């Protein structure tokens, strides 16, 4: 009897610690996300003001501010197009934003809660003699691996979108499109595997004092790019 009570207490304590750790991690992730959002808003607000955007202050708003950055900030001839590659493109840039937010919402608020619930209740498997702890450990390792994969799905989805957004922002302030594309790819890869967005933010600070390229030049560059695409096709 005492052994059963002791085991039940141990499970309750373990679950309590687990939930506290999960809440602490979630709170930390939210704070980091807000900090990076506002840190990135500073150079983008300055760049948007240089482009005479009357609604530049929208870059400060979480979630919707990201939409403004992806869609409204652009000021080039093809600015309303979302072009990942020549074969993957759409003239509805807002769909890229919805894809990113949709992926994050489905994973974080549908798939992850289900996965966390399964992991939580799997702790009771530890009460089964001999095989119980082995089953719990196996499920926990599998769950942790799936969580990592799902988090990377969110990271990669947003990375692709932000690669296009960063490249488009560079096209506004730097005329060399090939260099802009290469720079955007490198910064995006660094963010995915190392810095989690900070490389992009730091780079934006390095260009925020630049003036936009005159509109007639950006139009000419866009036309040359369109002609090159037509020839290649």
pLDDT of residue 185: 92
The domain tally of the chain equals 1
Task: Provide CB contacts within 8 A for 200, sequence distance 6+.
Answer: 40, 162, 166, 187, 188, 191
Contacts 24+ apart (CB under 8 A), 197-200: 197/36, 197/40, 197/162, 198/36, 200/40, 200/162, 200/166
Tokens of 175: 């005329």
pLDDT of residue 102: 81
CB 89, CB 81: distance < 8 Å: yes
- pTM here is 0.66
Local mean pLDDT, 10-residue blocks, the chain (233 residues):
59 73 80 86 86 80 69 51 68 70 82 83 77 83 87 82 82 84 92 85 90 65 50 45
pLDDT of residue 71: 61
Helix axes 215-232, 131-173, angle to 10 degrees: 120
Residue indicated by tokens 């936009």 = 212
Q: With CA atoms as reference, report the closest residue to 198 among 9, 39, 18.
A: 39
Q: Which domain holds residue 25?
A: 2-232
């Amino acid at each position: 009897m005492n052994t059963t009570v002791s085991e039940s207490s141990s499970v309750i304590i373990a679950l309590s610690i687990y939930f506290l750790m999960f809440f602490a991690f979630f709170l930390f992730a939210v704070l980091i996300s807000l900090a990076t959002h506002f840190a990135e808003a500073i150079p983008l607000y300055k760049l948007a003001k240089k482009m005479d955007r009357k609604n530049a202050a929208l870059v400060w708003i979480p979630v919707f501010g990201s939409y403004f950055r992806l869609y409204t900030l652009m000021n080039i001839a093809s600015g309303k197009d979302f072009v990942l590659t020549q074969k993957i493109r759409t003239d509805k840039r807002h769909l890229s934003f919805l894809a990113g937010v949709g992926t994050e919402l489905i994973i974080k608020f549908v798939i992850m809660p289900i996965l966390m619930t399964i992991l939580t209740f799997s702790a009771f498997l530890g009460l089964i003699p001999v095989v119980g702890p082995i089953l719990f450990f196996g499920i926990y390792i599998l769950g942790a691996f799936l969580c990592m994969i799902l988090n990377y799905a969110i990271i990669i989805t947003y990375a692709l979108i932000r690669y296009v957004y960063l490249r488009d922002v560079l096209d506004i302030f730097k005329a060399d499109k090939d260099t802009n594309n290469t720079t955007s790819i490198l910064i995006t890869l660094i963010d995915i595997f190392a810095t989690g967005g900070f490389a992009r933010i730091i780079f934006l600070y390095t260009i925020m004092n630049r003036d936009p390229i005159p509109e007639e030049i950006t139009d000419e560059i866009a036309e040359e790019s369109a002609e090159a695409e037509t020839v290649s096709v």
